[in-house]
Amino acid sequence: MHRVGIVGATGYTGSELIRLLSGHPQARITALVSRSEAGKPIQTLLSHLNGLSLPTLSAFDPDVLAAQCDLVFLAGETGFAMEHAPALLERGLKVIDLSADFRLKDPAQFADWYGKAHTAAAWLAEAVYGLPELTPTDAYKNARLIANPGCYPTAAGLALAPLLQMGVADPDGIIIDAKSGVSGAGRSRVSVEYLFTELDENFKAYGVEKHRHTPEIEQTLQAFSERPVRVRFTPHLVPMTRGILCTAYARLREPIAAETLHAHYAAFYRDQPFVVVRPLGEYPATREVYGSNRCDIGLTVDTRTQTAVVISVIDNLVKGAAGQAIQNMNLLLGLPQTLGLPIAGISP
């Protein structure tokens, strides 16, 4: 039984980690850290966790965590991990960071998109960007620090990597039109615009001019393209809680049959238990992966405009956050990657 701790336990990704890990056959939650709520049973804050036997919330203390845990998930806001992960790593803990701190390899790019200097740049080279279906398995060997991908980069990366690898699309000017449920905004975004009354029965774009996931998507896709990748990424907010659907468009450099493209995708993901390439003519809906760690993909070729259209769906809190973090944990610990992770979606 591996002993795991969760820092940032009361946020949406933190509590989703708790829910999923509480059913994991090889992991036991031994520490729950919340800086603002230390000392309380977590169920006094999060009633949906009633009935589970869990440690009381505690303050963040690297020495205590080192004594209690083998591995720690960091589910805090951007900036926390680069400040505190080194202390955990130095004490021999394995760390899986769900924030953006260790995702971009280039600290200058981090500074550019996140508006602050990276304070733990020395660890960037060692950090493994853990998108299991696209990350070489070798990378997990001896890894100590995993950067868990963002939700949009997960959906977009899985949608487009096979296409770019194939080399038939123009990697410059790819359009990624993504739609997300509101939980992606987290539990601490308490402002008028996130009130129920403002978002219910409403649909809108946000971050249109600049969104921090853009360079992360490009970094992921660049590994599959010889020519420079440039994406136009527009996220939208859907009046629902969970789910991301990503509609990606790439101009084709030469005609290609939808069947050929589909066969390539099917082969690319053949051995991946969490990616389902849907039959030609079928496109996934977010509800089909609600609560699941799957990513389902549908695609076609629009011959009128010579455009490849690829649609992917994930649950932003599972495959887009907590589920993928557990998948990374499994790989890090040498366990079967599917262990303790739901395959079926919850529907209706």
- Taking the complex as a whole, how short is the minimal distance between the CB of residue 310 and a second copy, in angstroms? 10
Site for a second copy contains 220 (CB under 8 A)? no
Q: Is the peptide bond before 348 cis (omega within 30 degrees of 0)?
A: yes
Nearer to a second copy, 165 or 300 (CB): 300
String marking each residue 292-311 x if it binds a second copy according to CB under 8 A:
x-x-x-x-x-x-xxxx-x-x
Angle of helix 213-222 versus helix 107-114 axis, rounded to 10: 150
Which of positions 147-166 make contact with a second copy (CB under 8 A)? none
Query: Which span sits near a second copy by CB under 8 A: 1-9, 95-103, 226-234, 326-334?
Result: 226-234
Query: Judged by CB under 8 A, which of 125, 137, 197, 226 binds a second copy?
Result: 197
Site for a second copy contains 204 (CB under 8 A)? yes
Query: Which span sits near a second copy by CB under 8 A: 85-93, 114-122, 136-144, 224-232?
Result: 224-232
- Taking the complex as a whole, how short is the minimal distance between the CB of residue 188 and a second copy, in angstroms? 8
Site for a second copy contains 37 (CB under 8 A)? no
Query: Judged by CB under 8 A, which of 111, 199, 223, 333 binds a second copy?
Result: 199
Angle of helix 151-166 versus helix 213-222 axis, rounded to 10: 30
Which of positions 55-94 make contact with a second copy (CB under 8 A)? none
String marking each residue 228-267 x if it binds a second copy according to CB under 8 A:
--xxx-x-x-xxxxxx-x-x-x-x----------------
Site for a second copy contains 332 (CB under 8 A)? no
CA distances from 144 to 27, 92, 126, 257, 327 (A): 17, 9, 8, 43, 15
Query: Which span sits near a second copy by CB under 8 A: 58-66, 88-96, 261-269, 280-288?
Result: 280-288
Which residue pairs, CB below 8 angstroms and at least 24 apart, start in 28-31?
A: 28/1, 28/2, 28/3, 28/4, 29/4, 29/5, 29/54, 29/55, 30/3, 30/4, 30/5, 30/55, 30/68, 30/69, 31/4, 31/5, 31/6, 31/55, 31/58, 31/64, 31/65, 31/68, 31/69, 31/72
CB proximity list for 42: less than 8 A, separation 6 or greater:
9, 10, 15, 18, 32, 34, 49, 54, 56, 57
Q: How far apart are CA 277 and CA 193, in angstroms?
A: 36
Nearer to a second copy, 38 or 185 (CB): 185
Q: How far apart are CA 311 and CA 170, in angstroms?
A: 18
Site for a second copy contains 172 (CB under 8 A)? yes
Site for a second copy contains 23 (CB under 8 A)? yes
Binding residues with a second copy: total (CB under 8 A): 92
Query: Judged by CB under 8 A, which of 284, 314, 325, 332 binds a second copy?
Result: 284
Nearer to a second copy, 83 or 282 (CB): 282
Active-site residue flag, 151: yes
Q: Which of 69, 151, 246, 295 is catalytic?
A: 151
Burial class (CB in 10 A: 0-12, 13-18, 19+), 202: exposed
- Taking the complex as a whole, how short is the minimal distance between the CB of residue 294 and a second copy, in angstroms? 6
Q: How far apart are CA 74 and CA 123, in angstroms?
A: 15
Q: How far apart are CA 133 and CA 152, in angstroms?
A: 15
Site for a second copy contains 116 (CB under 8 A)? no
| Residue numbers annotated as active site | 151
